[in-house]
Chains A and B, each alone.
Chain A
Amino acid sequence: MRRSLKCARLLMGITLLTALACTGAVMAEEIKIGVLFPLTGGAAAAGRELRSGAELALDIANNAMPDINMTMAKNVGIKSMGGAKITLIFKDHEGNPTLGADLAKKLILDDKVHGLMGAYHSSVTKAVSAVAEQYGIPLINDSSTSPELTKQGYKWFWRTTPHDVYFTKDLFEFLKGMTEGKVKGLAAVPKKDITNLASACEKTEWGAAVSELIEKFGKDYGFEVKKSILYAAKATDLSSEVRSLIAVKPDAMLFASYTSDAILMMKTLKDQKAAPKLLWGQNAGFEVPEFVSTLGDTTVGSLTRTVFIPKIAQVKPVAAKINAMYKAKTGNDLSGASARSFTGLQAWVHVLEKAGSVKPADIQKAANAIEIPGDELVVPWQGIKFAASGEDIGQNTLGMGLIGQYQKAADGKIDLEIVYPFNVATANMIYPFPKF
């Protein structure tokens, strides 16, 4: 019995080995990038978005689509490598950092990927980036926003998205703007009306960092953070958290939530008849399509920071084109998640094009040197250029964020309207937040 079990295990191992040996042979014209996203778990909705965004970018990179005004659309595959095509190997980390690190290791050692991308959850990205750094494999991060990630001095880590210091600063600039009457369609609000803040953030890397930033910037800008709560994103019940928030009677409630907890949070707030004047979400859960489709009218008036709002299409032809393609593919508009994974892969293509080889050292050199102009991007940034040194090493220095508000259009559809930056605002702001 015992021996046969051991035999079976050995046999299993051998079978796997042969299987791996067959796939292990690297073909010259194939560039493999391992992509880690949360395809199942609490953020699966965001994971689907991210995957679709990356796949769309892959499609454009591997095929010639001359009618799109992007460098990567012009030719088939990577031109500098003789038209080599990119393959993405998707892995599902379920939002679990240990699993993410494990998968990254297997991608590097067993699948022999040339580079990595991911991983949405800042906690996972943190673990994955340590693995990438250890093995010297480049990792471009598209959508994790904890400031910590680029503060570690990693040489193999680059991040395209702006991080939470930018976003949280945006929030307080926006609040300051409200008191100064800069917001479109809104007279100056007395500061005492919006001075009391309360925050509830999910408790892993990302949320905990946001919570600290809110405290810090709140103090700097002269607001008072009455309560900051950390909660588990996997929670099935948030009623005591919500009651604790309501207890301090905040003027503005600030959230950093992943998908399912964002929806649960809004529902519980409604249930408890919370009445904040402002309700702001730090993107993620607040901008996936499910947020609006499940909550409907409840979302009207809530604010979220993001990097992409479909209204951008009105001013950016590239964004309009890509958004249309994405909509044809998935049925949804691009969101902050999908736009960023699209941009992340786009950055990868530019890096590879510049490197001209898949050697890690070449990729590293190229990544530190690339400069993608803003008019090629779907997101409203000035471009992508990574800081090659300094405190925020690997961070894209040209990014910026938006703050959007859910508003109901005349046709009954709920859309995000831009309210910040003030100069590109697309609609009058709804203030105060309508009662649930």
Chain B
Amino acid sequence: MDILLGSIASGILLGMVLSLVALGLTVIFGLMDIVNFAHGEFLMIGMYTGLLTAQATGLDPLLTLPLAAGIGFLLGVLCYGGFVKYLLRGPMIAQLLGTFGLMLVLRNIALLFFGSEDRALHHGLLVGKSFDVGMGIIISATKLAVAVLAVLSFVGVWLLMNRTKLGKALTATALNRQGARYMGIPTERMNALAWGIGGATVTIAGALIVNFWSVNPYVGLIFTMIAFTVVALGGFGSVPGAFFAGLVVGFIMEIPGFWDFFAITFNISWMDAVPMTSFKYTWIYVSYFVIMLISPRGLFGWKQ
């Protein structure tokens, strides 16, 4: 029972972390039909930002979050203005390839400057602290912080999209760019803003994630895949969808835990022998595939 509860708790926490990672992707996708393969690399840059500022200044990444958000916003806007804008003119194949190129460049710039070693934050306000709630539920402070941040970000982005004039302009751009331009909405600036928001949300996620996961220049890809799955499940472009889909994916990542629960509780020896932890990411890929086949629009998709 302990194992089950522990897994559920950690699935929820992990799910919130993942939904924050995917938030930026869904915002960008909702606004323009472009899939950003460099999304995980934005996260990686966020992780390095958190790590390096913490190491340089001795401040916890929690305190330097605004800096990370700023860097992410700038990065997003720069990427849009300097590069993605031109991609949108070309065919879909060029967009895919282009963001792939962006991914390679960002990844290898990180490799050039930071080296290929895994690095992580080992000291800080939250590192290594965890609350034992009992019944096997252990909540680590680091993950809790990201979860709280995730809720705040989602509420923030949702309010921005639905309760402000700016959000209305964003939505209008998403629905009909031509029309929006005629209404006097600066669509180029709206697109850049979406990239900025996308970049900022993912870098703050990264800045806090470095508290509990280690970072190397290659870390981005797995998060890109996870973010794609979350966004696909939630429906490309849907903000609340991404949140709930994140929770579901969190549970998918915890499949090894549930497996252990059954294996140990019912003492099933063949289950014990399956190296389930080796498959922890496999289920993500499988679920992406299945979701896309069954329901291409995901849970809350609103855009064809």
Find out whether A and B make contact in their complex, taking CB atoms under 8 A apart as touching: yes
- Interface, chain A (partner B; CB < 8 A): 40-42, 44-45, 94, 203, 227, 229-231, 234, 236-237, 239-241, 243-244, 247-248, 259-261, 263-264, 267-268, 270-273, 294-296, 298, 436
**B276 with A42: CB separation less than 8 A:** no
**A229 with B277: CB separation less than 8 A:** yes
Question: Given known contacts A236-B214, A240-B257, is B3 in contact with A247 (CB within 8 Å)?
Answer: yes
B226 to chain A, nearest CB (A): 11
**B277 with A273: CB separation less than 8 A:** no
Interchain residue pairs A-B with the least CB separation, the first 5: A260-B118, A240-B256, A247-B260, A40-B116, A236-B213
Interface residue count on the B side (C-beta < 8 Å) = 40
Contacts of A240 in B (CB 8 A): 253-254, 256-257, 277, 280
Contacts of A296 in B (CB 8 A): 122
B216 interface hit (Cβ, 8 Å): yes
**B117 with A45: CB separation less than 8 A:** yes
Contacts of B119 in A (CB 8 A): 260
**Smallest Cβ-Cβ distance to A290: which chain B residue:** B117
B218 interface hit (Cβ, 8 Å): yes
Chain B contact residues: helix, strand, loop or mixed: mixed
Which of B7, B132, B222 has a CB less than 8 Å from the CB of A243?
Answer: B7
**B6 with A243: CB separation less than 8 A:** yes
Question: Given known contacts A236-B213, A236-B215, is B122 in contact with A294 (CB within 8 Å)?
Answer: yes
A117 to chain B, nearest CB (A): 22
**B212 with A295: CB separation less than 8 A:** no
Contacts of A231 in B (CB 8 A): 277-278
Which of A40, A241, A294, A295 has a CB less than 8 Å from the CB of B115?
Answer: A40
User: Which residues of B from 86 to 114 have beta carbons under 8 Å from A?
Assistant: none
Contacts of A203 in B (CB 8 A): 278
**A-contact 0/1 string along B15-29, CB 8 Å cutoff:** 000000000000000
Question: Given known contacts A240-B280, A247-B3, A273-B138, is B118 in contact with A264 (CB within 8 Å)?
Answer: yes
**B212 with A42: CB separation less than 8 A:** no
A146 to chain B, nearest CB (A): 20
Contacts of B186 in A (CB 8 A): none
Contacts of A94 in B (CB 8 A): 116
Alpha-carbon distance between A436 and B3 when the two chains are bound, in angstroms: 20
Contacts of A260 in B (CB 8 A): 117-120, 214, 216
**A267 with B253: CB separation less than 8 A:** no
Contacts of A264 in B (CB 8 A): 118, 120, 213-214
Question: Given known contacts A231-B277, A244-B256, A247-B3, is B117 in contact with A41 (CB within 8 Å)?
Answer: yes
**A236 with B264: CB separation less than 8 A:** no
Contacts of B257 in A (CB 8 A): 240, 243-244, 247
A230 to chain B, nearest CB (A): 6
**A244 with B277: CB separation less than 8 A:** yes
B128 interface hit (Cβ, 8 Å): yes
Other than the known A40-B116, A231-B278, A298-B128, what 5 A-B pairs have Cβ atoms closer than 8 Å? A40-B115, A45-B117, A240-B277, A259-B117, A267-B128
Alpha-carbon distance between A298 and B122 when the two chains are bound, in angstroms: 11
Contacts of B116 in A (CB 8 A): 40-42, 44, 94
B277 to chain A, nearest CB (A): 5
Alpha-carbon distance between A227 and B3 when the two chains are bound, in angstroms: 15
Can you list 17 A-B pairs, Cβ within 8 angstroms, ordered by A? A41-B116, A203-B278, A234-B218, A236-B118, A239-B10, A243-B6, A243-B7, A243-B10, A259-B118, A263-B118, A267-B128, A271-B130, A271-B140, A271-B212, A272-B138, A273-B130, A296-B122
Contacts of B272 in A (CB 8 A): 227
Contacts of A267 in B (CB 8 A): 120, 122, 127-128, 212
Alpha-carbon distance between A298 and B222 when the two chains are bound, in angstroms: 29
Contacts of B127 in A (CB 8 A): 267
**B117 with A40: CB separation less than 8 A:** yes
B184 interface hit (Cβ, 8 Å): no
Contacts of A239 in B (CB 8 A): 10, 14, 212
B52 interface hit (Cβ, 8 Å): no
Contacts of A272 in B (CB 8 A): 130, 138, 140
**B264 with A247: CB separation less than 8 A:** yes
B275 interface hit (Cβ, 8 Å): yes
